[in-house]
Amino acid sequence: MKEAGFPLGVLLLFGVAYITDYSIILLIKGGNLSSTNTYQELVRKTYGLVGYLILSTLQFLYPFIAMISYNIITGDTLTKVFQRIPGVGPDNILTDRHFIILLTTIIFTLPISLYRDIAKLGKVSLISLILTIVILIIVMVRTVTFSPQVMLLFALSFKLLLLTFESAGLRSGSTGILFRPKSENAWIFAKSNAVQAVGVMSFAFICNHNSFLIYGSLEEPTLKNWSQVTHVSVSLAVVISVVFAACGYMTFTGYTEGDIFENYCRDDNLATFGRFCYGVTVILTFPLECFVTREVIANVFFHGNLSTVFHIVVTVVIIAVATGVSLVYDCLGIVLELNGVLSATPLVFIIPTACYLRLSKERWNHSDNLISCLILAVGVLVMTVGFVLTILHPQECSHGKEMFYCFPSNVSFHNSTLPP
């Protein structure tokens, strides 16, 4: 929402959701046409060894970078959760993001990632989904809690708003926010970084890289059943995404961070609970991405079969490298953008449609062919322009910093500098 502009951002979310839904089903159609049951086999049969290696690289990079981003989120969120525990000071080891990332990796993500059957993660995914709903409710509650302040922003002058918060907001310790920061052009229809926003949205919606794994885990893996599962899943995802993004952006507008929980003040107890749920959610999602990276390595280097020893070794190496990178780098926003435009966009927009167009025996003006051509062209545009814009205009990162509107001194400062 922040990158694209609020109205355009909502429209783009629905657009990316539709393309994701369409391309996931198209992927399985391509698999049926080519008699293949993995994404890599489909591309190899369609575009040969070169296409196979390009896809394998993208299929490895996307979930691998996703794992890095999950570790960054875990370190950001859980450290702030532990800071709220009585007796845990700023110098406590529980507030060190490096320690938290290592701890959660050793205790949770590594053991769960060692499963060989992705179907065994069904209950874990259900818990993650439930916690996602809880997080959404928390963000919605905070938006409602702040809504009178939002109305004041438009109805009163900035000085009157600050005076109101100084007299009333300071007594409200539950939210932590002392005044609503003003943001220029917060409600403009579109912004220049809309293409980068599409990359972030693609990152959020992509599941093409593990579609064949999930398709194969269905009790009756038919195109009809897969289409129903896809429609329900993507519809639920887009509803959650739109509500979450709208509530988060309406609360913080131009000050919205790549990780929305970085915006909430540390003494906000409800947000602290949300951070805990968020941390657990990404920990439980991490193994799904590890499954895909491991499968890519198994297919490329081990002909699709890993012995028990190599299964453990490959899993440990993947997680160790991802963890090492996340310990060194901690800015989430640019990670989401680059992974979105360079990995997610080709996997969602370009490759499924290119494969289907190569395999399709329908007339050139058939609806599937025309839609596939359109999605392919949009994907190339988003990938190219998005990469250039991300390099030229990277997101700023304020990792770990308490936002300025959480401090009483800033209220006094802004109030004292306003004209009478």
Write the pLDDT tens digit of every residue in 72-113: 889 888 988 998 888 888 788 988 889 999 999 999 999 999
Q: Is the dihedral of CA 208, 213, 218, 220 positive or negative?
A: positive
Mean pLDDT of 408-416: 45
Task: Identify the residue with better confidence: 210 or 34.
Answer: 34
| Gap between the Cα atoms of 96 and 196, Å rounded | 31
Task: Identify the residue with better confidence: 255 or 228.
Answer: 228
Burial call 39-61: b when 16+ CB within 10 Å, e when fewer: bbbbbbbbbeeebbeebbebbbb
Q: Is the dihedral of CA 306, 309, 310, 316 positive or negative?
A: positive
Is the pLDDT score of 162 beyond 50? no
Q: Taking a C-beta distance cutoff of 8 angstroms, is the pair 42, 30 a contact?
A: yes
Q: Take residue 402 and report the two structure tokens written for it.
A: 């308490």
Question: Which of 21-25, 272-276, 326-330 comes out lowest in average pLDDT?
Answer: 326-330
Q: Take residue 377 and report the two structure tokens written for it.
A: 């062209």
| Gap between the Cα atoms of 237 and 18, Å rounded | 11
Burial call 230-266: b when 16+ CB within 10 Å, e when fewer: beeebeebbebbbebbbbbbbbbbebbbbbbbbbbbb
Residue whose C-alpha is closest to residue 334's, from 178, 199, 138:
199
Q: What is the DSSP string of 316-339?
A: HHHHHHHHHHHHH---HHHHHHHH
| Gap between the Cα atoms of 144 and 181, Å rounded | 17
The percent of residues in the chain predicted with pLDDT above 70, rounded, is: 85
Q: Taking a C-beta distance cutoff of 8 angstroms, is the pair 284, 112 a contact?
A: yes
